[in-house]
Amino acid sequence: MTPFHLYLYGPKRGPIESSFEDAELRLKQLPMLHFEPDGSFVWTRESGKQQIFGMVYDAAGKIQYCDLRGCCKYQTWKLLCAAIAGEGVEEFEVMVLPDQQLQDLQTFEAKLWPGHPSSSC
């Protein structure tokens, strides 16, 4: 597994079409995920072999972006994306840090998890 650090945005680097409160409820349903009221969270799986730290930033009733860093398997990543955005989200953009490279989600996934189909969250 390769570590990553990125900002996760909605389509065209806009907001993610979910409220902070709805994302909080979905994230809290993931086993072993600890969510704080300020939007920070940590999710540890497989006795620490997979770990993601995140921060959800919102304004005007929508998630503006998420700061995510960690190391995880593809399936864990997909669960996290679905929990953040909810169902029906088909498009994300990411800014890979520290290089500040903008990519669509499929390009990011193909580089980090080669061999896995890059379907959207």
Q: What is the CATH number of the domain that holds 25?
A: 3.30.310.250
Residue 85 lies in a domain: yes
pTM for this predicted structure: 0.89
Task: Give the residue among 113, 117, 4 at the shortest CA–CA distance from 66.
Answer: 4
| Gap between the Cα atoms of 10 and 89, Å rounded | 9
78 token code pair: 């997909």
Residue 58 forms part of a structural domain: yes
What is the extent of the structural domain holding 16? 4-112
Number of folded domains that form the chain = 1
Interval 48-98: pLDDT, tens: 789 999 999 999 999 999 999 999 999 999 999 999 998 766 689 999 999
Q: How far apart are CA 86 and CA 37, in angstroms?
A: 19
- The answer to the question of residue 120 being in a domain is no
CA–CA separation, 34 and 19 (whole Å) = 18
The pLDDT of residue 118 is above 70: no
**Structural domain includes residue 121:** no
